Structure 1
Amino acid sequence: RETIRTAAGPIMAKSPNRHNKIFMKVEPLDEKVAELIRNGTLNEYKDTKEVAEILRNAGWEKDEAKRVMRFDPRGNVFIDGTKGVQFIQESTDSILSGFEDTMKEGPLAREQVRGCKFTFHHFVPHEDPAHRGLSQLGPASRRACMGAMLLANPVLLEPTLGIEVRVPQEMIGNVAGVISSKRGKVLNMEQKGVVHILTGEMPASETFDLSEVMRGQTAGKAMWNTHFKAWTPVPNSVLPTILAEIRKRKGLSPDPPTANEFIDSE
């Protein structure tokens, strides 16, 4: 998954024929609102007044809460921030198609995007409908979303697992060593009779050979279970390597694109 850390924009992107301009802003979406979108509490089929009420209670401004164009079920939202722009109604579907494409395949590694709040800031369309169809506005909207995300300090998210290990006292050090060697950390330790229970967390990508390593270090005396805990940012120290591996697997060039490849100047 991909997300962003900071706000960016508004930035401008032009359609392939250079006749339409789309201005876009992006900022991280509040986790509480993102969760409401993911669990279906907020969706397009709900009454707009009800949606506005929920968003206002979550701390949104009244005007902004009324202008949601699309909730993306992955936990993203697209807001209409334009004022007094022509042809906006008939262009909405084309612009939203670009947003949805970006949410399916983000800019860093073409992974799904989550936790982003896009604001459609301004729109300069061409007078002739033939020059502002889906084939023009879709790519322009996608470029604007991509460019804004790349300026907003994008980051890759990886699934993190919670782990609970039961071991005899003399093996505590070995277990803690195994967890920390897997880019994980021990969060808590408690004793129940002769057994010590360690709870911690580690990235899912590091657990493929966990059983072999754990058995080797504890002579088979440890019992453990893991469960999905959260999506967490990949540390900067390993991010370039992981990004390059994912992009290579998908047949892309190893280096992610830069914002300048998507942003146009006047």
Structure 2
Amino acid sequence: VEGKSPNRHNRFYIEVSPLEPEIVDMIKSGEIGMKMDKIERRDKLMEVGMGKDEAKSFSAISESNVLIDMTKGVQYLRETMELIIEGFEEATTAGPMSREPCQGLKLRLIDVKLHEDAVHRGPAQVIPAVRQAIQAAILMADVTLLEPFQKVFIQVPQDYMGGAISEIQGRRGAILNMTQEGDVTDIEAKTPVAELFGFAGDLRSATEGRALWSTEFAGFESLPKNLLPEIVSQIRTRKGLKPGIPKPSDFVSE
């Protein structure tokens, strides 16, 4: 994707793709960071399969997203890189779909064309150009929203097991495991957090108050595609943004 500065004197060419899950985990655990020795970071990244050119070219990490400088011999780039990183951080901290943080993106800076006069490549020119190019590239990559899940553990007498299972399945939940000990059934399930509102009362009604239950956080999963337009519109409306999923052309000219 090409991002142009408002004055049209600077251009930034950016590609986006998923970041390898192993590297996402390394960033989240603190095993990989921008403060560590460059050679050590490169070697760790290569150990999990990243190519040498990419591994040695990390420019920034934001959340679990990375900016990789793949350019060659671009004049004035070094003095402009701080502004490019700022645009990268703005774009990934508030993603284009619903202004929520992005996760697990690999952004490659492929080429840059900069005006020779520093006056024409200041923050007001560079930051929005980079930010909008990244936002458009993210939308072109067919991204989705991630929603939080919780594991749900239920202990219920066998006679009321059907009611408990129905409550889980009616909330886009999945049964992971079931075991029986005497007359008591242990159910382990996984359900979107958004679907658990009112669960306590409904489970109590379905089992006549005979069920014991608890939850624990189970990470994030992709929101089903059929729910994406509705959920995005709800989030954007709540934030005072135009409803509907944005298009890449909302950020850069095609």
Measure, in 1, the Cα distance between the counterparts of 2:207 and 2:146: 31
1:247 maps to 236
- Whichever residue aligns with residue 36 of structure 1, its letter is M
Give 1:131 deviation, angstroms: 0.3
Give 1:262 deviation, angstroms: 2.2
Instruction: Answer yes or no: is the 8 Å Cα contact 1:147–1:263 preserved in 2.
Output: yes
Measure, in 2, the Cα distance between the counterparts of 1:105 and 1:245: 16
Give 1:35 deviation, angstroms: 1.6
Q: Give the 5 Å matches for 1:1-266.
A: 11-72=1-62, 74-264=63-253
Give 1:242 deviation, angstroms: 1.0
Aligned residue for 2:144, secondary structure, equals: strand
Give 1:264 deviation, angstroms: 3.6
Give 1:202 deviation, angstroms: 0.5
Instruction: Answer yes or no: is the 8 Å Cα contact 1:189–1:197 preserved in 2.
Output: yes
Q: TM-score with structure 2 length normalisation?
A: 0.97
Give 1:261 deviation, angstroms: 2.2
Instruction: Identify unmatched segments of 5+ residues in structure 1.
Output: 1-10
Instruction: Answer yes or no: is the 8 Å Cα contact 1:42–1:71 preserved in 2.
Output: no
Instruction: Answer yes or no: is the 8 Å Cα contact 1:42–1:51 preserved in 2.
Output: yes
Could you give the per-residue CA deviations for residues 160-200 of structure 1, whole angstroms, max 9, x where no partner exists?
11111111111111111000101111111111232111111
What count of residue pairs does the alignment treat as equivalent? 254
- RMSD over aligned Cα atoms: 1.0
Instruction: Answer yes or no: is the 8 Å Cα contact 1:166–1:222 preserved in 2.
Output: yes
Aligned residue for 2:59, secondary structure, equals: strand
Instruction: Answer yes or no: is the 8 Å Cα contact 1:30–1:115 preserved in 2.
Output: yes
Give 1:245 deviation, angstroms: 0.8
Measure, in 1, the Cα distance between the counterparts of 2:120 and 2:245: 31
Measure, in 1, the Cα distance between the counterparts of 2:64 and 2:216: 22
Instruction: Answer yes or no: is the 8 Å Cα contact 2:229–2:245 preserved in 1.
Output: no
Could you give the per-residue CA deviations for residues 16-36 of structure 1, whole angstroms, max 9, x where no partner exists?
111100000000111221121
Measure, in 2, the Cα distance between the counterparts of 1:55 and 1:220: 52
Measure, in 2, the Cα distance between the counterparts of 1:202 and 1:81: 41
